[in-house]
Each structure stands twice: as C-alpha cells, then as structure tokens.
Amino acid sequence: LTRHYLSEAQLQNPANKNRAVYRQWVQVGWIRTTAGDCIDYDRIRDDILNDSQQFDIKLVGFDTWNATHLRTQLQGAGLDVEPFPQTYMRFSPVAKFAEVFVNRKIIRHNGDPVLMWAMSNVVMETDANSNIKPNKKKSANKIAPAIEFLMSFGTWQIEHEEFVFSLSEEQQQRLSAFNGI
C-alpha cells in the first residue's frame, strides 16, 4: 500500500522538471494532489485513518523532523506511532534487509511507477563503518517515496520482530558487506 502526494502548485509549476511525468501519475492515480502550494497534512492524516479502518495498521512511522502535528493527530485518533530518525543507525539495517526482502520477492510494490522511479534515483551514503542511508543531496532527482518505503519497512520490522528468515553463511556475509541499493 503506497500513497504519494503532491501540491497542485508543484504540478502546475513550469520550473518543475518532473511535472509531465507527475501529471501522468496523477491521471492514473499513483499520485494524489492537494490544493495550494504545500502538501495538505490533514489529507494525509485522513487517508491514514481511512486506511486504518480497512487494513490492520498497528504502527505508523514518522520522520522526527517536522512531523509533530501529524504524529499528535494520529496518536489522538488511537494509532501508535514510532519515530524514525533519518540516521545511519536507523536506516542502515533497514536498507540492507529491504534489499534482501525485495530480491526474495517477499516485498512487492504492485508496479508502483513512482516508487520504482524514486528507488532508481537513490544514492546511498556510506560512513566509515559501512553503514548506509539515502542521501537526498547526492541523488539526481526526487527520492522521498524511496525514503518513505524504507521508513515503512523499518516500522514493519519493529511491529514484526518475531518474523525470522534464515540466511546461509554466504548470504550473511554478503548482507554484512552490502553498502548500497
């Protein structure tokens, strides 16, 4: 289940180099637009609350930077929320496991072109300890959907701590050595 949002102003802005592809994705329903020149977080909140009635959402991850109001509203509506700081410590294990899950076809994105595009734009930054995280500044284009996917997957991991799959010794070594998507 993915949702992508864009303000109407971004869709109409001639300086937005992506607006043609964004318009295509809006027309077929992959991107939802919100009125005005910024994302309407009330719309996102309402969509999350509606989804929580239809699906068994137990935990919602949020970026600790600038999401206090939405977090408070979701908590007030009875949802549990989990902070997801944008750090190496948080992203690295999530990104490495996500690659394994995607390669094993445990995770599928149902052909979401926005997510595929964002994932193809990601450039991973690596620290001295081979920890990785997405780097927005080094990425050639938008990567927000990819970051949101990783945050969702990381939140899912917290919710499903008992989920276990076995790796061969060779696979464990490759996972340990992995330094980017």
Per-residue pLDDT, 164: 53
The two three-digit tokens of residue 12, written as one number:
């109409």
Per-residue model confidence as pLDDT tens digits over 73-130 = 999 999 999 999 999 999 999 999 999 888 888 887 888 999 999 999 999 999 999 9
3-state SS, one letter per residue, for the chain:
CCCCEEEHHHHHCCCCCCHHHHHHHHHCCCCEEECCCCCCHHHHHHHHHHHHHHCCCCEEEECCCCCHHHHHHHHHCCCEEEECCCCHHHHHHHHHHHHHHHHCCCCCCCCCHHHHHHHHHCCEEECCCCCEEECCCCCCCCCHHHHHHHHHHHHHHHHCCCCCCCCCHHHHHHHHHCCCC
Is the pTM for the entire model greater than 0.75? Answer: yes
Q: Where are the domains of the chain?
A: 84-181
Q: Is the model more confident about 20 or about 102?
A: 20
Give the pLDDT of residue 181. 42
**Range of 47-56, 98-107, 141-150 with top mean pLDDT:** 141-150
Whether residue 148 has pLDDT greater than 60: yes
Mean pLDDT of 58-83: 91
